[in-house]
């Protein structure tokens, strides 16, 4: 049985906080089955990366970088497009000195 999105996001935020990062939910999605996008911001280099949830053929959760850009505005535009397409989407932002996303890549 897959863990619900709200519980998974709460665990991600807790992992980030334990690791010394700041994490927040920017947009709450559907509690049970909403997809998740994580925006990891590296405070030392001032660069951000996106990680989007995907599922492998075996049903396991995987993380992909759906877009890469040196411009944070392009990442934000991608998130906005995804939110219009999927209103159940969760968006989590993590700020960390090492740029960690705290997701298993």
Average pLDDT, the chain: 93
Region label for 69, one of left (φ > 0), alpha (ψ between -120 and 50) or beta (otherwise): beta
Residue ranges of domains in the chain, CATH in brackets: 5-96 (3.40.1530.20)
22 forms bridges with which residues in the sheet? 95
The predicted pLDDT at position 104 comes to 80
| Residue 4 structure tokens | 């619900």
Residue 53 is predicted with a pLDDT of: 87
Q: Per-residue pLDDT tens for 33-72?
A: 899 999 999 999 999 999 998 888 887 878 999 999 999 9
Terminal alpha carbon distance of the chain: 21
Residue 35: how many CA atoms within 13 Å on its side-chain side? 16
């Amino acid at each position: 049985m897959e863990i619900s999105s709200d519980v998974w996001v709460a665990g991600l935020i807790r992992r980030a906080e334990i690791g010394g990062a700041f994490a927040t939910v920017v947009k709450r999605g559907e509690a049970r089955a909403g997809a998740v996008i994580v925006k990891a911001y590296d405070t030392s280099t001032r660069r951000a990366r996106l990680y989007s949830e995907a599922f492998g053929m075996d049903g396991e959760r995987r993380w992909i970088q759906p877009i890469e850009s040196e411009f944070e505005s392009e990442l934000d535009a991608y998130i906005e497009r995804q939110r219009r397409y999927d209103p159940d989407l969760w968006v989590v932002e993590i700020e960390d000195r090492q740029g960690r996303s705290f997701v298993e890549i």
